[in-house]
């Protein structure tokens, strides 16, 4: 064996997987079972007491899901990961470990529309209070910090306009405040940006998007960077205090640099219950094997489409960080040198009506609420994903009435451009 560390594409195919020890199966089998037989009574007791690692019940862990967890942890450069049923489930599980009722977390205002909803309404009903900050104004994060702040949440490449967030600058604010930085890396995928390299303590993904990549399976994952000390100041009792349900063990003390991933599994997933189906884990693992190839094609196509739109007379503006003229191009060169992703927005001179009209005229692009599919997708955020926001908040989050969002797939770029050309001139 060479002592070379495997590269990203090798990890995307192999990390976490080995031939099945019983059958020799080379692809990771789908362990479609709810539960696992114990060796004996002592073995059962030690698994339940967290003295030994092993399979108990698929709500807590499953061997197919474990391969997915190891693979994404390797791709992100984290110590451990936990796969759950969706990106939103991952966000709930993360914050449940960090916030007590009455606590606060700071979130970037430019976020996936579903996250804005989840943070504003559902989380409020748990007593978790979101405080919004502007990712283009780092000082707004500093100003938002209070003694009750328990975390900062940002997207690496932000919805819907594909803007690039200055992760390092916000991680400095988080360090100073003594709170973890959570980065939603869904739109970048670890192929384009690895937030842990820039100071993230926790990375979260909707696996539903580029990691799965084929628009066929929901999933979410939490990656523990292993960087945060949960014991300071008693701010994170779920991690630092004795756990009555596990014979009084303290998770940070017992599990060290992967204590957060363990907390998410044994306190979050076990008790809240959003387990990922092993079948979905299999589909997503298969998707991840081609992540590097797909991301290259997604980015190449997105850049070509953005350039075409920027030169079209019906188009007022294009927000794509991969364009040299874009306000985020400097940040894109620093954080995403391999490509600025494939989700971006543009605005039409004809406003809201032109946006709605364009969406109805496109043929190759599918009009739907998803991103990160092999197929090219289009949506008008103001009337769909961001419709719950008032007009000022729509504009602030990059989803004004004239804005159309694209998620560029891996088709031939000439066909995508021809479809846009016919729809724009119709």
Ligand X SMILES: *Cc1c(COP(=O)(O)O)cnc(C)c1O
Interface residues with ligand X (CB under 6 A)? 86-88, 112, 114-115, 155, 159, 184, 186-187, 206, 208-209, 218, 220, 371
Question: What are the b/e assignments for 315-324, b being 16+ CB within 10 Å?
Answer: beebbbbbbe
**How many CA atoms, within 13 angstroms, populate the side-chain half-sphere of residue 166?**
16
Between 166 and 184, name the residue whose CB sits nearer to ligand X. 184
Query: Distance (Å, rounded) from C-alpha 203 to C-alpha 81?
Result: 9
For 225-381, strand residue ranges (E) read 315-319, 343-348, 366-367, 377-379
Q: Which residues contact 262 (CB under 8 A, 6 or more apart)?
A: 50, 80, 251, 255
Nearer to ligand X, 186 or 301 (CB): 186
Q: Which residue's CB comes closest to ligand X?
A: 87
Q: How far is the CB of 76 from ligand X (least distance, A)?
A: 15
Shortest reach from residue 219's CB to ligand X, in Å: 7
Residue number, 206 or 227, with CB nearest to ligand X:
206
The nearest distance, CB 85 to ligand X, in angstroms, is: 8
Nearer to ligand X, 240 or 372 (CB): 372
3-state secondary structure of 165: coil
CB nearer to ligand X: give 150 or 209.
209
Least CB distance from residue 329 to ligand X, whole Å? Answer: 21
Using the minimum distance from each CB to ligand X, give the nearer residue, 97 or 186: 186
* Consecutive H or E run containing 401: none
Question: Whole-number minimum distance, CB 159 to ligand X, in Å?
Answer: 5
Minimum CB separation of residue 207 from ligand X in Å reads: 7
d(Cα 380, Cα 382) in Å, to the nearest integer? 6
Residue 17: CB atoms within 10 A of its CB come to: 17
| Distance in Å, CB of 165 to ligand X, minimum | 12
Token digits of residue 396: 């602030």
Instruction: Return the number of the residue (85 or 332) whose C-beta is nearest ligand X.
Output: 85
Shortest Å, Cβ 70 to ligand X? 20
Q: Which two tokens mark 174? A: 């988080």
Q: Outline where 138-196 has alpha helix (H).
A: 138-144, 167-177, 189-192
**Cα gap 159→155, rounded to integer Å:** 8
H or E, element range at 353: helix 351-361
Q: Which is nearer to ligand X, 267 or 371 (CB)?
A: 371
CB 424 within 8 A of CB 312: yes
Minimum CB separation of residue 155 from ligand X in Å reads 6
Taking the complex as a whole, the smallest distance from the CB of residue 108 to ligand X amounts, in Å, to: 11
Which helix (H) or strand (E) segment holds residue 163: the answer is strand 163-164
Which lies closer to ligand X via its Cβ, residue 186 or residue 345? 186
**Comparison of 252 and 280: residue with beta carbon closer to ligand X:** 280
CA torsion sign for 310, 398, 168, 87 is negative
The whole-angstrom separation of Cα 410 and Cα 161 is 19
Of residues 182 and 371, the one with the C-beta less far from ligand X: 371
Token reading at 234: 């008693």
- Shortest distance (Å) from residue 112 CB to ligand X: 4
Strand pairing report for 315-319 and 366-367: unpaired
Q: Would you state the structure tokens that stand for residue 232, as one six-digit string?
A: 């300071």
10 Å CB burial of residue 281 (0-12, 13-18, 19+) is buried
């Amino acid at each position: 064996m060479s002592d070379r560390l495997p590269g990203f594409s090798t990890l995307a195919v192999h990390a976490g997987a080995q031939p099945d020890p019983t059958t020799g199966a080379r692809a990771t089998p789908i362990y479609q079972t709810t539960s696992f037989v114990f060796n004996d009574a002592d073995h059962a007791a030690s698994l339940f007491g967290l003295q030994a690692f092993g399979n108990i019940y698929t709500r807590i862990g499953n061997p197919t899901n474990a391969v997915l967890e190891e693979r994404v942890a390797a791709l992100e450069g984290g110590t451990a990961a936990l796969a759950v049923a969706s990106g939103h489930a991952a966000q709930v599980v993360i914050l449940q470990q960090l916030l007590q009722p009455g606590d606060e977390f700071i979130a970037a205002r430019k976020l996936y529309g579903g996250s804005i909803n989840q943070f504003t309404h559902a989380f409020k009903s748990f007593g978790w209070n979101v405080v919004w900050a502007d990712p283009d104004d780092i000082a707004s994060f500093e100003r938002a910090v209070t003694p009750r702040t328990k975390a900062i949440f940002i997207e690496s490449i932000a919805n819907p306009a594909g803007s690039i967030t200055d992760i390092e600058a916000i991680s400095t604010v988080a360090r100073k405040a003594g709170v973890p930085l959570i980065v939603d890396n869904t739109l970048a995928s670890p192929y384009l940006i690895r937030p842990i390299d820039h100071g993230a303590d926790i990375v979260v993904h909707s696996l539903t998007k580029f990691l799965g990549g084929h628009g066929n399976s929901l999933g979410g994952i939490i990656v523990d960077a292993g960087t945060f000390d949960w014991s300071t100041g008693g701010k994170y009792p779920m991690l630092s205090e004795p756990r009555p349900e596990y014979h009084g063990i303290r998770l940070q003390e017992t599990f060290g640099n992967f204590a957060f991933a363990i907390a998410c599994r044994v306190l979050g997933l076990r008790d809240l219950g959003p387990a990922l189906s092993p079948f979905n884990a299999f589909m997503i693992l298969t998707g991840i094997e081609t992540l590097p190839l797909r991301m290259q094609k997604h980015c190449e196509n997105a850049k070509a489409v953005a350039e075409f739109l920027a030169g079209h007379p019906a188009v007022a503006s294009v927000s794509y960080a991969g364009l040299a003229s874009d306000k985020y191009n400097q940040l894109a060169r620093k954080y995403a040198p391999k490509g600025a992703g494939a989700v971006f927005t543009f605005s039409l001179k004809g406003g809201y009506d032109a946006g709605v009209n364009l969406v109805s005229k496109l043929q190759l692009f599918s009009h739907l609420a998803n991103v990160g599919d092999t197929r090219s997708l289009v949506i008008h955020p103001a009337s769909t994903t961001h419709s719950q926001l008032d007009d000022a908040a729509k504009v602030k989050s990059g989803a004004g009435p004239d804005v159309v969002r694209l998620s560029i797939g891996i088709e031939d770029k000439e066909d995508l451009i021809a479809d846009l050309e016919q729809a724009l001139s119709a």
